[in-house]
Structure 1
Amino acid sequence: MLNRIKSELLNVGLKFISVDEKIVRMLLETSPSNVNEIVILPAIKIVMKKILQKLQNKRNYGRVYNGEINNVRVSVIRSLIGAPNCAITVECLRRCKTKLIIRVDTCGGVETPNMKVGIGNILIPKLAFCDEGTSPQYIRENPSLANDLDAVPNPFTKFQNLLTGNQTIFISRPNINLNEVFLNSGDTLFP
């Protein structure tokens, strides 16, 4: 009987919270107001720890760590590995006051005859293919996005008949102005 009363009281309280706030509270374990406008999304624990070491005036709200890096207020949220996990976190951030998301992750060895990438180097890709399984869903829901992105035919269609998957792969490019900002100051994040 006591559990039923508790359950009913919780249900009454939840009726006064918007669906967006419920989603943020459920997945980030905090209210949307506790998330800053700039969010850093590390995927793995090692990178998360390094970023948290640089965070000044650190405060923890559920899965969200708030603080300052170089006098800029940021939130740090571990998004876990993979596009679907990151998409869940980004969906929560869409329901907050977030304006800029910086995804920080590690990559394997990258070496070509013209370019050698050392350990700890920062890479900002010039383009990304939106075909990891999550992005095409957004494009299907918002067809106007397809007009803003470049597209190429899926290279697998040359070798096999695709019964499932995408015939077209969309290409996303980073904001050039942001590239200059982070290339000039980003290498000091992990000296």
Structure 2
Amino acid sequence: MPKLKNKIISFFAKLGLKFMDEKSQMALMVFNCKPSVISEIVIIPVVGMIIKKFTKRLSNLKEKGKIYRGKFKEKNITIVPMTMGAPAAAVIMEALHQTKSKYIIKVDFCGGLSSDMKVGDIVLADKAICGDGTTPHYDPDAEIISTDSDLLNILDEFLMQKNIPFKKGAIYTTDAIFRETEELLTKARNKNAIAIDMETSALYLLGNQFGKKVISINVVSDIPDPNKKFNLNISSRLIDNTILLVDTILEFLSEKIV
């Protein structure tokens, strides 16, 4: 009986895919929903706490497959939970390319690299430095990747108008969260990176290639230490500024994105 059941499931799955175009198939594979469900504004967090902070603030919240869709002050917003790393970021971007999404905002955690950086600092990435293995698959010459200047400048101005303290600079994207060696950290700092993460270079490069407006803004959760594999510091300042950033980004999207 189980074999017969599986044959029936397989038959109807193939039948359904037969009538789907490529866009729908990709969205179904990645998001487990139709591409039409994705709104023009998409927020892509990794950390569960940040996902929950966003979803709790949306009205008319609906879970569609692997994503959440709701409203903030009448603005349609989609939350796409993303797993860690540039490969996952590239998969998400490939799938979002098949939708009507226009604005893609990464809000998450990062490591601090500059000497004046503290846990809880907010970092706006004006560019990404490629240190991962995924981004070169799309552009072998990619090294320093800028993002959409219009979105960057509008957000920069909004943060200053709201008196939100933040640091702006390059973020270095790497692959191995538990292999942030002294050599790697020195390399990143020598390239003038003020922070380090695992997604932004892929997001910025594919945003440019796919015509999406992408921004990465993160809260410093740790100051990488080559002698410690795990250096997360869940301080009250980290939590306070994470909540502040979530609220600020939603206000920004509702006020500044037409």
Give 2:28's aligned residue.
Answer: 25
Give 2:40's aligned residue.
Answer: 37
Of the structure 1 ranges 65-74 and 91-100, higher mean CA displacement relative to structure 2 is found in: 65-74
> How far does residue 70 in structure 1 lie from its aligned partner after superposition?
4.2
Give 2:147's aligned residue.
Answer: 174
Task: Provide closer, same or farther for how the CA distance between residues 109 and 26 of structure 1 changes in structure 2, counting only shifts above 3 A.
Answer: same
Deviations along 1:20-66, whole A, 9 cap, x unmatched? 21121122111101001111000111111111122222111011111
Give 2:185's aligned residue.
Answer: none
Deviations along 1:128-149, whole A, 9 cap, x unmatched? 1134111111125xxxxxxxxx
Rounded to whole Å, the distance in 1 between the matches of 2:118 and 2:152 is 18
Rounded to whole Å, the distance in 2 between the matches of 1:96 and 1:35 is 6
| Structure 1 alignment gaps of length 5 or more | 141-167
Task: Provide closer, same or farther for how the CA distance between residues 53 and 4 of structure 1 changes in structure 2, counting only shifts above 3 A.
Answer: closer
Task: Provide closer, same or farther for how the CA distance between residues 34 and 47 of structure 1 changes in structure 2, counting only shifts above 3 A.
Answer: same
Give 2:123's aligned residue.
Answer: 123
What SS does the corresponding residue of 2:126 show, helix, strand or coil? coil
Whether 1:100 and 2:103 are equivalent positions in the alignment is yes
Give 2:134's aligned residue.
Answer: 134
Task: Provide closer, same or farther for how the CA distance between residues 24 and 111 of structure 1 changes in structure 2, counting only shifts above 3 A.
Answer: same
8 Å contact from structure 1 (residues 21, 31) kept in 2:
yes
Rounded to whole Å, the distance in 2 between the matches of 1:99 and 1:180 is 17
Task: Provide closer, same or farther for how the CA distance between residues 24 and 169 of structure 1 changes in structure 2, counting only shifts above 3 A.
Answer: closer
8 Å contact from structure 2 (residues 44, 104) kept in 1:
yes
Rounded to whole Å, the distance in 1 between the matches of 2:37 and 2:136 is 30
Deviations along 1:127-184, whole A, 9 cap, x unmatched? 21134111111125xxxxxxxxxxxxxxxxxxxxxxxxxxx54211233321233231
| Structure 2 alignment gaps of length 5 or more | 165-243, 248-258
Rounded to whole Å, the distance in 1 between the matches of 2:41 and 2:155 is 13
Give me the CA root mean square deviation.
Answer: 2.4
Task: Provide closer, same or farther for how the CA distance between residues 108 and 170 of structure 1 changes in structure 2, counting only shifts above 3 A.
Answer: closer
What SS does the corresponding residue of 2:20 show, helix, strand or coil? coil
Q: Which has the higher contact order (CA 8 A, sep 6+)?
A: 2
Of the structure 1 ranges 176-185 and 70-79, higher mean CA displacement relative to structure 2 is found in: 176-185
What SS does the corresponding residue of 2:111 show, helix, strand or coil? coil
Deviations along 1:90-113, whole A, 9 cap, x unmatched? 11111111111111120234542x
What SS does the corresponding residue of 2:61 show, helix, strand or coil? strand
TM-score by length of 1: 0.73
Rounded to whole Å, the distance in 1 between the matches of 2:5 and 2:46 is 41
What SS does the corresponding residue of 2:132 show, helix, strand or coil? coil
Query: 1:59 pairs with 59, 62, 65, which one?
Result: 62
Rounded to whole Å, the distance in 2 between the matches of 1:132 and 1:76 is 25
Task: Provide closer, same or farther for how the CA distance between residues 8 and 170 of structure 1 changes in structure 2, counting only shifts above 3 A.
Answer: same
Aligned length: 161
Select the structure of larger CA radius of gyration. 1
Rounded to whole Å, the distance in 2 between the matches of 1:16 and 1:85 is 27
